Amino acid sequence: MTRDEPTEANLTSLQLAIMQVLWERGEATITDVQDALEPARPLAQSTIATVLSRLEKRGVVAHRSEGRQYVYRPLLSAARARGSALAEVAEGLFAGDVATLVSELLSSRDVDRGDLAKVRALIEAKERELAGRKS
pLDDT tens sequence across 86-122: 888 899 999 989 899 989 988 998 999 999 999 999 9
For residue 6, cis peptide bond before it (omega within 30 degrees of 0): no
Residue type for 85, please?
A
Distance CA 18, CA 47 (A): 11
Contact 29, 69 (CB under 8 A): yes
Contact 72, 52 (CB under 8 A): yes
DSSP 135: -
**With respect to CATH, is domain 1-96 assigned 1.10.10.10?**
yes
Mean pLDDT of the chain: 91
Distance CA 90, CA 95 (A): 6
pLDDT tens sequence across 79-96: 999 988 888 889 999 998
Residue type for 60, please?
V
Taking the domains of the chain in order of start, what are their residue ranges?
Answer: 1-96, 97-135
Q: Is the pLDDT of residue 7 over 60?
A: no
Contact 52, 18 (CB under 8 A): yes
Distance CA 70, CA 56 (A): 12
